[in-house]
Amino acid sequence: MTLSTRHLLGIKDLTAQDISLILQTAQEFKEVLQRPIKKVPSLRDVTIVNLFFENSTRTRISFELAEKRLSADTVNFTASGSSVSKGETLLDTVNNILSMKVDMVVMRHSASGAPHFLAKHIPAAIINAGDGINEHPTQALLDALSIKEKHGTLEGVKVAIIGDIMHSRVAQSNLYLLNKMGAEVVVCGPPTLIPKHLSEAFGVRVEYNLRKALEWCDVANVLRIQLERQNEVLFSSLREYNLAYGISRRLLDSLPKPITIMHPGPINRGVELDSDVANSDQSIILQQVENGVAVRMAALYLLSNRQNA
């Protein structure tokens, strides 16, 4: 089986079959990652460049590891220390790199739509590793794999996406994915951090009361407050935010049933999640990170056209 798309620019462009194929392939790669030798020759002679124009810890390391586990040749680029600071355009930067015979590009950029722009201009397959406030497709896929592992299915699972929905590419990709895969979704956060059109655009319920959202859900996917993307003050202070929307151990223990806690990272401890919640048995945050490698191996492999090689 193959994907219906040549690039992975967003979950918006994937079919439910594409998502199932990536998750199933990721499960197979997870088995490889349990072996003493965690490496397969699937992408031998494939050259991949990781273009990170914006900071990253998890996504960048995860893609690099995924590429190494698949035996690809990799080149890493970060904007700091490059000729971008001398005024070089995105297209010139990428064309120069591609002239060195690169087959695939993994790109993170602070501008929404940057990987879509590149996809129109270059022949290599592109994977979006997060573009501005638009999408972060591999994060939604690893979130989905983690929910599936914990709850057995995505269909009918009740997921509350909590926090800064307005500035979150993780929220947008999760909303597309969970809708396509039949999960039930509620978004919860301060009214100033939830876009007005969201309810109609995604057919999801908006809940401003954190306790009600937590009492309803099986899974709480708690998002980071993205201070770097907020141009104006959208809530009074981090302390006020924590009082209204932070998840404490006491709040978790007062719920009618145990729920699963997720967070894409990096966590603002003591703001959206208290440390004893992030570190608790109910948290699958580190399983999410672990699943990131297998999901990215699956995406790279399926987009490489090496399945039939």
Q: Under the rule (CB under 6 A), what is the footprint of ligand CP? A: 56-59, 130, 136, 139, 264-266
The span from the CA of 194 to the CA of 203, in Å, is 14
The C-alpha angle 40, 44, 48, rounded to 5 degrees, equals: 110
Decide the pairing of beta strands 125-131 and 260-262.
Answer: unpaired
DSSP 223: P
Q: Smallest distance, Å, CB 139 to ligand CP?
A: 5
CB of 132 or CB of 184, closer to ligand CP: 132
Q: Which residues contact 193 (CB under 8 A, 6 or more apart)?
A: 163, 164, 165, 166, 167, 234, 235
By C-beta, is 55 or 280 nearer to ligand CP?
A: 55
Task: Classify 262 as helix, strand or coil.
Answer: strand
Residue type, 151: H
| Residue 300 and residue 48 in contact, taking contact as beta carbons nearer than 8 Å | yes
**C-beta closer to ligand CP: residue 156 or 266:** 266
The residue type of 55 is N
- Tell me the closest approach of the beta carbon of residue 66 to ligand CP, in angstroms: 13
**Is 34 strand, coil or helix?**
helix
Nearest-CA neighbor of 301 among 21, 11, 10, 84? Answer: 21
Looking at beta carbons only, is 109 or 306 nearer to ligand CP? 109
Min CB(136)–ligand CP separation in Å: 6
Q: In terms of CB distance, is 130 or 163 closer to ligand CP?
A: 130
As measured in angstroms, the least distance from the Cβ of 40 to ligand CP is 24
Determine phi and psi for 15, rounding to 5 degrees. Answer: -90, 165
Backbone angles phi, psi at 283, to 5 degrees: -85, 135
The Cα-based distances of 118 to 58, 113, 129, 135, 278 in angstroms read: 23, 9, 13, 15, 37
How far apart CA 248 and CA 267 sit, in angstroms, is 14
* Residue 56 C-beta: closest distance to ligand CP, Å: 3
Residue 178, both tokens = 């969970």
**Burial degree of 71 (CB within 10 A; 0-12, 13-18, 19+):** middle
Sheet holding 125-131, edge to edge: 73-78, 47-52, 104-109, 125-131
Smallest distance, Å, CB 253 to ligand CP?
27
Residue 48 CB, nearest approach to ligand CP (Å): 17
Q: Name which of 56 and 112 has its Cβ closer to ligand CP.
A: 56
Closest CB 224 distance from ligand CP, rounded Å: 8
Judged by beta carbon, residue 134 or residue 139, the one nearer ligand CP is: 139
In the complex with ligand CP, the residue whose CB is nearer, 98 or 105, is 105
